[in-house]
């Protein structure tokens, strides 16, 4: 979908922001650009939609050189979400979302239908929010509108530059979870710049780690964590390693293997709430989130029951999951699983 080949960027003051990097982004994946401060993440992102022109190298989207298209035409097919959101303060919410469709000369009925659809998609009632001004919304609500605006013309690619950076930690986590679920629905190709490693691990299928403009490693979060390409990659995650390991390993990874084609049930015992009964635990849930829910439960002996065709295969408490986690981690480090 997106391919960068030997891309470098040298600014007028001779600062080499990006130094001969190459990677590709697959169609439909969420790809993260991470690294140290000033490592070239945002510069790389902006070169994709030509807000910054590379000094050398080639960028292609769907096999077509981006420089063969006028920047304004290219950008209409690429949604762009930034930390400061950039909503037009004197436009209503619906006018902000309608900006690109209006430039594309959509008819008014189509624009109105799209605005309504997108507001509902990002969890904002059209009746309540469509005619309001941006300054009347909270930071989290404004970020939702910014995402809706980026999606307005249904672009195949969304670029996101620190989109949650200005939000408080609680709002950031809530919005991040909602956006992750939204990504699963819309099937877009997304490139995300973030300095938040937890955000990168939670949201991205693959990551590109940069340092001083040089590409250090591209791979899944699990690959970078358990199979680092060099000492820099290894040390980059050192201070948060335990939490990141729990984020990168899923509940399904530590369940007892069973090749039965029967019906699988995963549920809390006792239920965490009336909403948490049978089939309430997703197999791909990160262990970090599973253990967090266990810690926050009022029950002192909460367990996860894994049952196939009515037969209990696993009954896992907090310490059981941690033991399984340690065993699985050893397998990853010795190449027993490639993530």
DSSP codes, 223-292:
HHHHS-SSHHHHHHTGGGHHHHHHHHSBGGGGSPP----S-EEEEEES-SSTT-STT-S-TT-BHHHHHH
Q: Which of 184, 213, 247 is the last residue of a domain?
A: 247
For 167, the 3-state DSSP assignment is coil
pTM of the model: 0.88
Cβ(49)–Cβ(61) below 8 Å: no
Count of domains in the chain? 2
Laid out side by side, the sheet with 206-211 consists of 78-82, 157-161, 189-193, 30-35, 206-211, 214-219
Q: Are 167 and 254 found together in one domain? A: no
Q: Say what the pLDDT of residue 276 is.
A: 66
Phi-psi region of 182 (alpha: psi -120 to 50; beta: other; left: phi over 0): alpha
In a domain, 339, yes or no: no
The per-residue pLDDT for 229 is: 96
Q: Are residues 222 and 270 in the same domain?
A: no
Domain limit, last residue, from 247, 273, 302: 247
Whether 240 and 253 map to the same domain: the answer is no
What string of pLDDT tens digits covers the 339 residues of the chain? 999 999 999 998 788 999 999 999 999 999 999 999 999 999 999 999 999 999 999 999 999 999 999 998 899 889 998 877 788 999 999 999 999 899 889 999 999 999 999 999 998 999 999 999 999 999 889 988 999 999 999 999 999 999 888 778 888 888 888 888 888 888 899 999 999 999 999 999 999 999 999 999 999 999 999 999 999 999 999 999 999 999 999 999 999 987 777 788 899 998 887 766 656 788 989 999 999 999 988 888 899 999 998 899 999 999 999 999 999 999 888 775 544
Q: Is the peptide bond before 270 cis (omega within 30 degrees of 0)?
A: yes
pLDDT value, residue 101: 93
Same domain assignment for residues 99 and 183: yes
Per-residue model confidence (pLDDT) at position 339:
45
- Report whether 293 contacts 261 (CB < 8 A): no
Same structural domain, 242 and 255: no
124 and 211 share a domain?
yes
179 and 203 share one domain = yes
- From residue 162, how far is each of 87, 156, 166, 192, 296 by CA, in Å? 16, 20, 8, 7, 29
Residues 134 and 210 in one domain: yes
In a domain, 37, yes or no: yes
> Residues 25, 158: one domain?
yes
Domain boundary (247, 269, 304) is at: 247
CATH code for the domain of 227: 3.40.50.300
Domain span at residue 260 reads 249-333
Please answer whether residues 201 and 30 qualify as being in contact, where contact means their C-beta atoms are separated by less than 8 angstroms.
no
Query: What pairing do the DSSP bridges indicate for beta strands 264-269 and 303-308?
Result: antiparallel
Q: In this predicted structure, what is the pLDDT of residue 169?
A: 82
Instruction: Give the per-residue pLDDT at 14.
Output: 83
- Tokens (6 digits) for 254: 């530590």
Residue appearing with tokens 């090749």: 259
């Amino acid at each position: 979908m997106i391919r960068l080949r030997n891309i470098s960027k040298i600014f007028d003051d001779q600062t080499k922001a990006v130094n001969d990097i190459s990677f590709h982004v697959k169609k439909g994946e969420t790809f993260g650009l991470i690294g140290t401060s000033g490592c070239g993440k945002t510069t790389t992102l902006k070169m994709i939609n030509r807000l910054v022109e590379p000094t050398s190298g080639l960028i292609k989207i769907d096999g077509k050189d981006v420089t063969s298209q006028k920047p304004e035409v290219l950008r209409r097919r690429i949604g762009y979400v930034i930390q400061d959101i950039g909503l037009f303060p004197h436009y209503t919410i619906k006018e902000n979302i309608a900006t690109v469709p209006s430039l594309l000369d959509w008819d008014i009925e189509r624009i109105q239908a799209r605005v309504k659809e997108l507001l509902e998609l990002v969890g904002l009632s059209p009746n309540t929010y469509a005619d309001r001004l941006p300054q009347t919304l909270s930071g989290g609500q404004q970020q939702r509108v910014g995402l809706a605006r980026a999606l307005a013309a249904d672009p195949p690619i969304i670029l996101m530059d620190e989109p949650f950076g200005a939000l408080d930690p609680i709002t950031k986590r809530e919005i991040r979870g909602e956006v992750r679920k939204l990504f699963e629905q819309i099937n877009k190709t997304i490139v995300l710049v973030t300095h938040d490693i937890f955000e990168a691990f939670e949201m991205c299928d693959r990551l590109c780690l940069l340092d001083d403009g040089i590409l250090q490693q591209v791979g899944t979060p699990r690959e970078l964590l358990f199979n680092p390409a060099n000492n820099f990659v290894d040390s980059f995650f050192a201070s948060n390693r335990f939490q990141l390991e729990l984020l990168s390993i899923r509940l399904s990874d530590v369940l007892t293997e069973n090749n039965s084609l029967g019906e699988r049930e995963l549920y809390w015992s006792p239920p965490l709430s009336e909403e948490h009964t049978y089939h309430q635990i997703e197999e791909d849930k990160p262990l970090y989130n599973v253990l967090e829910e266990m810690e926050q439960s009022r029950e002192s002996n909460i367990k996860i029951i894994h049952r196939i065709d009515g037969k209990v295969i696993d009954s896992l408490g907090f310490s059981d999951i941690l033991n399984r986690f340690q065993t699985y981690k050893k397998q990853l480090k010795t190449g027993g699983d490639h993530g």
